[in-house]
Structure 1
Amino acid sequence: MLKPSKHNGTAILLFANSPQEELNNKSIPNGNVLFSGLTKHTLSVVRQTEIPYFHLTEAEQEGNNFGERFVNAIHHIFNKGFDRVITVGNDTPQLRPADILKADRELDRNNCILGPSKDGGFYLLGLHKRHFNAPRFLALPWQTSSLLRSITALFQGLNIRVVKQRVLLDLDNMVDLNSIMASCTIWSYKLRKLLLSFLTTVQATLSLAVVFFNRYFQHYYFNKGSPINTTCLS
């Protein structure tokens, strides 16, 4: 396994909200258990690299929108005396320590590193302090499908070499979760157990909802003029 760069200067920024806040932004039913588990998994991945890291939730983030909060978080790391930062989120369960350590090695070569996500954004950004320009970053189309293309063009316009890593899926909804589970066979035991348990729970909940709806619909639709007898739903 790769080891962190000898001359250090790199810090990892885990930019991930609390499970409660994630529920406000992502359409995954009962996702608080899932988001909590994903954050724990990502922290485990980050710690395995032995690179200093900072986890900033909404409690520590500053700004009126995602772009402002993300840019301010990067600025926060540089203000702590680090010359390089590698940013990751908690919504890419396929992320491995090797992905972060490869990014650290590319920073040694003065490159910018991007881990593309399939939705047009990125799950990882490796950046030097001297390449960081807050106003230009703030102008990027955050949380859109053109983000990766725009940030790549920004760096290339500054004659900074961009190295892209493997493409991964961000987990934003149930479709993404099913796709991630279907596309990857190599998981840690704890993560696989978490994802399977969550899928089973959600599928069971949805099945109960379908049964309830069918019974309610049959009773109500075919007895429109009668009051609903709740005992038939129990």
Structure 2
Amino acid sequence: MKNSLLLILTRNPELGKCKTRLASKVGDKTALDIYQFLLDHTVSFTKELEVEKWVYYSEEIWEDDIWDNKIYQKKLQIGEDLGERMMNAFKEGFQAGFDNIIIIGSDMYHLDQSDMANAFSKLQNHDYVVGPAEDGGYYLLGMKSFNSQLFQNKNWGTDTVLQDTLADIKNEKIALLEVKNDVDYYEDIKDIKAFEPFLKHIEK
């Protein structure tokens, strides 16, 4: 997967500042523990991918954390909203000379290394690759050339993001991946065995 780049948007794992919608049910400490578990999982399925990898932090770059400096280049997110932050990350990647760029968040329990390899493979012969999320957004977006339109005029965090994004590229060659769920709410994880240790104290 030559000249390919993976962008990972991450939030600095700090108490009371991450997974706030989940925290409203499980509490700040548990939400932080779950987010750190998800970060570890993201490292596990990205570290051996044969692509360049850039991690974009939300608040500040942490030099000594789970993102190995030898594997991941560390950068800071720039922008007022999610759209601007993604747009600027893609722009930086294309300006650096990459031909195939995919972006993901760091809260996807249902993604694995083969999913990522498949996404990069599909991007070789498509203009775009999109991973639809169950909530009407997307968990993965890939493109071969910079298109700022995808990051403008969207109501981020709502169920219209996917359909509005697909409308922007309806005349392009798109690869749609399997629908998956990210972790935002208690309901997203309450029936998944891997999260049981975090939820023992929660009243169902």
* TM-score when normalising by structure 2: 0.81
Instruction: Give the residue type in structure 1 aligned to 2:83.
Output: G
* 2:7 matched residue in structure 1: 13
Structure 1 residues 84 and 25: alpha-carbon distance in aligned structure 2, compared to 1, 3 A threshold: farther
Corresponding residue to 1:128 among 133, 144, 147: 144
Q: Percent identity?
A: 26
* 1:147 matched residue in structure 2: 161
Question: Given that residues 18 and 36 in structure 1 are in contact (C-alpha distance below 8 angstroms), is that contact kept between their aligned partners in structure 2?
Answer: no
| Residues 192-218 of structure 1 deviation map (CA, whole Å, 9 limit, x = unaligned) | 3xx232122x42xx59xxxxxxxxxxx
**Higher helix residue share:** 1
Instruction: Give the residue type in structure 1 aligned to 2:187.
Output: V
* 1:111 matched residue in structure 2: 127
CA distance in 2, matches of 1:95, 1:196: 19
Q: Which runs of 5+ in 1 are unaligned?
A: 183-191, 208-234
Structure 1 residues 154 and 173: alpha-carbon distance in aligned structure 2, compared to 1, 3 A threshold: same
Question: Over alpha carbons, which structure has the higher Rg?
Answer: 1
Please give the root-mean-square deviation of Cα atoms over the aligned residues, in Å: 2.0
**Higher strand residue share:** 2
| Residues 9-55 of structure 1 deviation map (CA, whole Å, 9 limit, x = unaligned) | 11101111112275264332221111112112101101132221111
How many pairs does the alignment contain?
182
Structure 1 residues 97 and 13: alpha-carbon distance in aligned structure 2, compared to 1, 3 A threshold: same
Pair 1:48-2:48 in alignment: yes
Q: Which runs of 5+ in 2 are unaligned?
A: 61-75
CA distance in 2, matches of 1:64, 1:112: 25
CA distance in 2, matches of 1:57, 1:168: 23
Structure 1 residues 70 and 141: alpha-carbon distance in aligned structure 2, compared to 1, 3 A threshold: same
Q: What are the within-5 Å matches in structure 2 for residues 1-234 of structure 1?
A: 5=1, 8-20=2-14, 22-23=17-18, 25-28=20-23, 29=27, 30=29, 31-58=31-58, 59=60, 60-129=76-145, 132-156=146-170, 159-179=171-191, 181=192, 192=194, 195-200=195-200, 202-203=201-202
Question: Given that residues 141 and 150 in structure 1 are in contact (C-alpha distance below 8 angstroms), is that contact kept between their aligned partners in structure 2?
Answer: no
* TM-score when normalising by structure 1: 0.71
Q: How far off its partner does 1:81 sit?
A: 2.0
Q: Secondary structure in 2 aligned to 1:49?
A: coil
